[in-house]
Amino acid sequence: MEEKIRNYETMLAVTKEISMSKDPDVVVKLVVENIHKSLKTKGCALFLLNRKTKELEIAASSGLSDEYLNKGPISALRSIAQSLEDGPIAIFDVSDDPRIQYPEAAKNEGIASILSVPILVRDHPIGALRVYTSDPWEFTMDDVNFVQALAQLAGMRIELARIYSGMADSIDLLKSKVYEKS
């Protein structure tokens, strides 16, 4: 019960902070830090999908080394790819799973288990939220639901930030056109 209360309190705090921030960098950092702290895991990372390269690019992380984060390009087609299409994927033993793109790097980082949850906007994947543990971990449905809920919040806020940025750019363009005609 204590875990559920902690997750609920974390969800409320993150929702409040997200609703006040227009900066997507602040939002993604807040999400990964709070998941890392609330679940007491080794680390957490949020990746955004680069549609041109089909790679997942790190947007924010907590608890993971720079060496691990910079291990190489993360292919959205190879690295736990099903989580982008099929939903959450929990891997109990990363040392013995073909979906892990960099098993040696995971071993060196001391990672035993990974939970990968897609970040969706209108049913389209825009990234992945991943939780890393140092001990083998059977992720519960509560764990998965908690991470999924925060992934959805992050996805909505990232999309709103993109829309806001696009509107600001459009306004600037229109203003420049008006000034050109004057």
**155 in Cβ contact with 123 (< 8 Å):** no
State the pLDDT at residue 84. 80
Q: Considering the chain, what is the average pLDDT of its residues? A: 88
User: What pLDDT is recorded for position 83?
Assistant: 77
pTM: 0.85
Written as one string, the DSSP assignment of 16-27 is HHHHH---HHHH
Q: Which helix (H) or strand (E) covers residue 146, if one does?
A: helix 141-181
Q: What is the mean predicted confidence (pLDDT) over 72-96?
A: 86
CB 19 within 8 A of CB 46: no
pLDDT level of residue 86 (50, 70, 90 thresholds):
confident
Number of domains in the chain: 1
Distance separating alpha carbons of residues 48 and 51, to the nearest angstrom: 9
Could you tell me what percent of the chain has a pLDDT over 90?
57
Q: What is the CATH classification number for the domain harbouring 136? A: 3.30.450.40
CB 79 within 8 A of CB 99: yes
**CA gap 113, 126 in Å, rounded:** 23
pLDDT in tens, 41-68: 999 999 999 999 999 999 999 999 999 9
| pLDDT score, position 76 | 85
Residue 114: closest CA among 84, 138, 142: 138
User: Which residue, chain included where needed, has tokens 């000034």?
Assistant: 179
Residue range(s) defining the domain that contains residue 36: 2-181
The confidence score (pLDDT) of residue 77 equals 79
More confident residue, 1 or 109: 109
| Residue 180 pLDDT > 80 | no
Of the chain, the percentage scoring pLDDT greater than 70 comes to: 90
Segment 101-110, tens digit of pLDDT: 999 999 999 9
What is the torsional sign of CA 100, 33, 149, 74? negative
b or e along 124-149 (b: 16 or more beta carbons within 10 Å of the residue's beta carbon)?
Answer: ebbbbbbbbbeeebebeeebbebbbb
- CB-based contacts of 50, cutoff 8 Å, min separation 6: 56, 57
For residue 23, the model assigns a pLDDT of 81
